[in-house]
Amino acid sequence: MWTQDSVHALVEKQKAYFRKGETLDVSWRIEQLKKLKYAVMANTEKLIKALVEDLGRTGEEAYLCDIGPVVMEINETIAGLRRWARPETHFSGLVCFPSMITKVYKMPYGTALIISPFNFPVMLSFGVLVAAIAGGNTAVIKASSKSPACTEAMQEIMAETFPEEYITVVDGGHDVADMCLAERFDKIFYTGSPKVGKHVMAEAARNLTPVALELGGETGNWCVVRKDADLKDAARKIAFFKLCNSGQICININQVAVAKEVADTFVEELKAAFLKQIGPDAINNPEYPHLISKLAYDKCASEAESYRDRIVFGGKGNSETLKYAPTIIYPVECGESICGHELFCPLLPVVTYKDEEIDSLMDFIASREHGLALYVFTKDKDWANKTMSSQQYGGGCINEVCLHLMVKGVPFNGTGHSGMGAYHGEWGFREFTHPQTVMHGSTVFNLPLREHPYTTKEASYKMKLLKFFER
């Protein structure tokens, strides 16, 4: 049982360890990453068992979504860390003559707090930890109380792998999270809802602690299907994504907007895709994950009930197993309440629009809070490229869903109400380090250009030289 005193003692212990300077050595960091990789791989079955217990996933989905991405992240980081951490050398410029060399050192923040959610408890704990280790930080992971089996497994694995003054997993509810936020960490990385994200920022502001946020998006992520899209392909991919983790994914599709001209056909294709992938009785299919809690189930079931007259597929659940079937709600208007907040469940509203009025739809989407993701399906590559390069969102895909999250070397991030900061690969290293600029001064050949006097006859040359140098 954690108390404010025990949390404070842990943070102070980690700060003292950081000040010893061990984490500054890049070779040492690589060794810790190798230890983390070994620990994850050696305990894969334990982690899969915990993910099945907390979320009802199959072993395959658990590995695909939580464990495999961590291994990929570690491998990418080990391969690139020496290059990323190397100090940059810059030419200081003539105005700094004769001190012509300036270095930029990538320094760790110190002791980091990682607050992870329940939906991908392993990936969103250990994946962020990879970036923290790469940057040379110590870390406290506050894991979710909603996924207790995963939290317990991660605690055991980290305790066996690292000393607590370096890496520790803390359990407990919101009260323990607030105990952590009351401490003076050097960096905070939070993944979760915009509402709690605001609270994290407010607490961090007390100590001016830099914060990275990965949020779901207050008004949800949009998927747009144009009338020229390959409807069977779009339906297949959207169905897969909505089934994954029972819709409890921060980058999942909140609502799909489909051109009226093809909406009926698309809905039929979507039904067929759900049936093919999960069968006619999803809630009794052992491969189908469940919602995280009774509260989440009741919220989902209640919202579905309020749209009962427009449910064209699904609409059934089992409150004992916490499984609610993938549910298509059709047709829906943009401004309805179900499209006004993040769903985080297997409900999928289908919004219709006239394809010729696509610009109005995109203006409407742009007027809302920025999503964490945007997906478009179309054969019009020019329109797709223009749209994806002009809308504001975290990341997304053209004629695909979610796989941008798996691409090496690119950032994963949000903007505005969907987050701030970025990680994965080098972007994670940057997120957990501070660039420090250091000029290497010369003690010889120093000119009196910057020194008084400026206005004497003898000093009249200074303005001419300043104008020449400062160009």
Q: Which residues are catalytic?
A: 214, 250
Residue with tokens 């217990």: 53
Residue 37 CA to residue 40 CA, distance in Å, equals 5
Sign of CA pseudo-dihedral 434, 435, 440, 446: negative
Q: Which of 138, 142, 143 is nearest to 112 (CA)?
A: 138
Q: Which helix (H) or strand (E) holds 15?
A: helix 4-19
Residue with tokens 């003292």: 16
Reported residue count of the chain is: 471
Answer for the pair 456, 108: CB distance below 8 angstroms, yes or no: no
Report residue 64 as tokens.
């695909």
SS3 220: coil
Provide CB contacts within 8 A for 142, sequence distance 6+: 113, 114, 115, 116, 170, 172, 176, 177, 180
Provide CB contacts within 8 A for 55, sequence distance 6+: 62, 118, 119, 147, 245, 246, 248, 289, 290, 292
SS3 103: strand
Backbone angles phi, psi at 115, to 5 degrees: -105, 115
